[in-house]
């Protein structure tokens, strides 16, 4: 896979996330280079891929390759969101068990 240019608006997927995201949002990498990305980095890369494909300026084969990467990024984002939802539900259940209502 060819690396995306900085002018495409995508950030380095291995760069530290902006906005104070913590390393706890990362999962072990299973070799696809996506499972270790934070949600914010995955979304930024996905947005760059969408822009490149929609521009129509890349060859078909690269568009297909980018589409596959985009699908992997969508799965990663869903996994991160599902984990966050589970954590919020766990915290809420613990608070309710103690008698503390969420505010």
The model's pLDDT over 41-78, given as tens digits with 9 standing for 90+, comes to 999 999 999 999 999 999 999 999 999 999 999 999 99
**Under a CB-based contact definition with an 8 Å cutoff, are residues 10 and 30 in contact?**
no
- For residue 97, the model assigns a pLDDT of 84
d(CA 101, CA 103): 6
Residue 59: half-sphere exposure toward Cβ, Cα within 13 Å: 4
The distance from CA 58 to its chain's CA centroid, rounded to whole angstroms, is 23
For residue range 10-20, list pLDDT tens digits in order: 444 334 333 33
Domains defined for the chain, CATH in brackets: 35-103 (1.10.287.1040)
Using CA atoms, how far residue 50 sits from 12, 54, 103, in Å, is 16, 6, 38
**Under a CB-based contact definition with an 8 Å cutoff, are residues 61 and 22 in contact?**
no
């Amino acid at each position: 896979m060819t690396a995306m240019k900085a002018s495409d608006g995508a950030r380095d997927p291995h760069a530290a996330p902006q906005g104070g995201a913590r390393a706890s949002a990362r999962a072990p990498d299973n070799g696809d280079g996506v499972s270790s990305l934070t949600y914010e980095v995955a979304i930024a890369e996905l947005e760059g891929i969408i822009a490149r494909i929609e521009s129509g300026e890349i060859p078909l084969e690269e568009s297909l390759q980018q589409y596959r990467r985009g699908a992997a990024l969508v799965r990663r984002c869903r996994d991160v969101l599902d984990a966050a939802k589970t954590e919020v539900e766990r915290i809420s259940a613990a608070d309710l068990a103690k008698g503390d209502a969420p505010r």
